[in-house]
Structure 1
Amino acid sequence: MILSILFAGLGQLYNRRFMKGFTFIIVELAFIVTLLESINYGLWGLRTLGTIPGVDHSIRLLVFGVLSLIGVFFALSLYIYNVVDARNQARKIQNGWKPMGFRESMRTFYDHAFPYLMTFPGLVLMIFVVIFPLLFSVLLAFTNYNLYNSPPRNLVDWVGFENFVNLATVPIWQDTFVSVFSWTIVWTVVATTLQIGLGLFLALLVNDPRIKFKKLIRTILILPWAVPAFVTILIFSAMFNDDFGAINKDIIMPLFGGDGLPWLSDPFYARVAIIMVQTWLGFPFIFALFTGVLQSISKDWYEAADVDGGSRFQKFRHITLPHVMFATAPLLIMQYAQNFNNFNVIYLFNEGGPPVRGQNAGGTDILISWVYKLTFDTNNYSMAAAISIIMGLFVSGFAFYQFRRTRSFKEEGEI
């Protein structure tokens, strides 16, 4: 173990594990020769974000710094594994174990390490597709990267928790964040609950044995799901137009008179409209999901309830609803998480409008669409990253808590 601490692989050579020892030696030499200088430069850039305006590019240095952190993590993991492996091998040798031959070592390696070798490319891909952007966004939230601090002309500086403090203390940020966050919660709960409730009601209705033409009705109710969502949203956006939309011109004005309702110019009516649009978009999937679950419930349960004199409501409460929720609870939780970050319907319907006085977000903007505007319209990247962290923590905490309360993460023997 001491030899492996001094230089990776020496402990394995001392234990007569020559192939593993030479592998560790080659890996450490390659790291020292090819990556040590680059990682040192990346860590310097991560610490300083550059020192010379116009020469040092702070964001590029931040990218190199994140890559350096990932490289250091891999290097430390291999180094620790090398030390632990040497210690374990030494203990086995002290207990009378003899090193295996080359063929036997290769066979044992294949039996135990093959699954890890097959999953390693996926792990590397996940690191650079998921973890790297996540780390970059998290670090960006602690800088002052915006339109006025953009490299290479200007340097970006570390500002700590200043962006989070501004969200809580600066009036325009505070008012906008509270308003947008509150509407995001209302939007998520109301829109998702309505689409789930409508889907469940229609599934129960179609599953009733007294209903005729079930196949035709199911086909019609699934049709909104078959149409691309962005096409449906754009059509509804035109239908809800204040001036020439069919909702005002052909329905409200002929029946009630007046000029119709300000669907796109008043925040309240715009929110009502967008909730109705999401309910229309979301209920077909819930309907199809519940239909399959309802057909899998044994009729013996209902027959036993009839014998005991159970009412329709009692059968729904004690038989239908528990079976449906047991089978679909994780998917329903994902519906809430998905609508919390449902950017498409918000942006395509009216781009988050209408404008609200005293705020830098629109009346129907949710957190994700507000982050989009901060990033691409005002180039306030650091504040957008700070809000993204809050969003991620909120959604992750909610999903983790709900999943732990369901049986979706329990092993079969624990249920």
Structure 2
Amino acid sequence: MKSHSKISALLSALFMGLGQIYNKQYIKGLIMMGVGLFILITFAVDFQHAMWGLTTLGETKQTIDGWDIVQGDHSINLLIYGLIFLIASILVLSAHVANVVDAYSVGKKREIGIVPNGIKETLKTMYEKGFPFAMLLPSVFATAFLIILPNLFGVLLAFTNYSSPNHLPPKNLVDWVGFDTFIDLFKMDMWSSTFYGVFGWTVLWAILSTFTCFFAGLFVAIIVNQKGIVFKRFWRSVFILPWAIPQFVSILVMQNLFNGEFGPINQLLLDLGILNERLYFLSDPTLAKITIVVVNIWFGFPYWMVLMSGVMTSIDKELYEAADVDGANNWQKFPKITMPVLMFSTAPLLIMSFAGNFNNFNMIYLMTQGGPVNTSYQGAGSTDILISWIYKMTLEQRQYNMASVVSILIFVIIASISIWNFRRTKAFKEEDMMS
């Protein structure tokens, strides 16, 4: 008996559609051959040049000939162009593998006496079974070129010397430098001191901003949900307003309130005699950090208040009734009943909030622009966190390769912390709730 499956798979591997023609699916095979020819012609023209640009990042610099500028190779354009072709090649290879698998499966059916589908049966099968795949194709292309491509481009920049002033296209070429930029970040004093300082404050900021909002929201939720409190809906509505108002507007208002020269908070404290001289909330490094944390509580606690209120109302009342029978008071019921249930329900959100605060660009940049100035830092201020430092390195200093390195480190740090915490929390293990 002929091995139709192996022969058809081999023919399809040699060229798209040949296996289908061997399996007597002539129209289907011709269509696939047409697609294969189109891909071959398209890629044959540009693929070699694209891969050359991706591997070399160009070889010809921009020069000046008299009054004319002779354009050379643009390294960044070549990098992007090469990545587009690389991702497109992976998609084409996937389609080619699917073509081989299709020819092999039809060949297998021929071996057991099943007649291959004609064009009508093929179209019907595609309509009935292929509809979900057709609907997913736009998402595949969007993910490949709108998510994977930009992220891969950002990662690869870390392995180049793409920075100001000597390696900015089109005037200069960009080169692959391997891990040199990573080494510079940790070994060169001007970069390492800045990174360690900014990283330390970033971690402290993420912890403080997460837990202060968490416990502030918990405190307000407990107060509002007390039995003796009237107009509970009113209080919930009032306290949710800071979260509902656009943060951009609110932060700018807070920036003016805490202004050291003409801010009303300073003026009020002076009028009440609490202060003898003005406090420069946003100009002193320590005060600026404290101010940012305090202001962030105002924006962050409403979310946790609403969340805690919902969780507390869902706690089984019988648990509290059983505790009352055992003679437990409120101070004993809270850590033994309320808090464990709250932590079980909110632990994943707490982890996500920590990750979000780690990259809370708006709060830092709109409030202080990363200031006040820190002379021992390279391009960063006293309140800059990693993400705002990256912003400055890219848009203000053009240190794109170093910004890319720091971005990769942020991803590694947040991913590691999140995975570790998610694996430890029991919130996703419903069976643990029963134990």
Aligned residues: 415
1:197 aligns to 2:215 (yes or no)? yes
Q: 1:158 to 1:58 in 2, by over 3 A?
A: same
The one of 144, 150, 167 equivalent to 1:127 is: 144
1:30-109 → structure 2 map (5 Å cutoff): 30-54=38-62, 55-109=72-126
Q: 1:121 to 1:358 in 2, by over 3 A?
A: same
What corresponds to 2:417 in structure 1? 398
What corresponds to 1:13 in structure 2? 21
Which 5+ residue runs of structure 2 have no aligned equivalent? 1-8, 63-71
Return the offset for 1:353: 0.3
The one of 371, 387, 391 equivalent to 2:406 is: 387
**Alignment-mate amino acid for residue 400 of structure 1:** I
The one of 349, 367, 384 equivalent to 1:349 is: 367
The one of 139, 145, 161 equivalent to 1:144 is: 161
- Preserved CA contact (<8 Å) 1:253 1:260: no
The one of 300, 313, 327 equivalent to 1:309 is: 327
CA distance in 1, matches of 2:17, 2:423: 43
CA distance in 2, matches of 1:69, 1:245: 55
Return the offset for 1:286: 1.3
Give the percent of matched residue pairs that are identical in Structure 1 and Structure 2: 45
1:322 aligns to 2:340 (yes or no)? yes
CA distance in 2, matches of 1:304, 1:100: 69
Q: 1:14 to 1:353 in 2, by over 3 A?
A: same
What's the secondary structure of 1:338's corresponding residue?
helix
Return the offset for 1:136: 0.7
Return the offset for 1:52: 0.7
Return the offset for 1:65: 1.0
> Structure 1 residues 76-85 or 380-389, which shifts more?
76-85
CA distance in 2, matches of 1:408, 1:114: 36
1:108-257 → structure 2 map (5 Å cutoff): 108-148=125-165, 149-251=167-269, 254-257=272-275
- Preserved CA contact (<8 Å) 2:217 2:302: yes
Alignment root-mean-square deviation, CA: 2.3
What corresponds to 2:387 in structure 1? 368
* Bigger Cα Rg: 2
Return the offset for 1:317: 2.9
> Structure 1 residues 377-386 or 325-334, which shifts more?
325-334
- Preserved CA contact (<8 Å) 1:146 1:380: yes
What's the secondary structure of 1:256's corresponding residue?
coil
What's the secondary structure of 2:130's corresponding residue?
helix
- Preserved CA contact (<8 Å) 1:138 1:385: yes
CA distance in 2, matches of 1:42, 1:24: 25
Which 5+ residue runs of structure 1 have no aligned equivalent? none
CA distance in 1, matches of 2:299, 2:169: 42
Return the offset for 1:408: 6.5
Q: Give the TM-score of the pair, scaled to structure 1.
A: 0.93
- Preserved CA contact (<8 Å) 1:253 1:259: no
Return the offset for 1:142: 0.9
Return the offset for 1:201: 1.4
CA distance in 1, matches of 2:103, 2:405: 44
CA distance in 2, matches of 1:408, 1:22: 54
1:4 aligns to 2:26 (yes or no)? no
CA shift digits 1:53-76 (9 cap, x unpaired): 111111111110110111111111
1:274 aligns to 2:292 (yes or no)? yes
> Structure 1 residues 235-244 or 149-158, which shifts more?
235-244
Q: 1:3 to 1:366 in 2, by over 3 A?
A: same
Q: Give the TM-score of the pair, scaled to structure 2.
A: 0.89
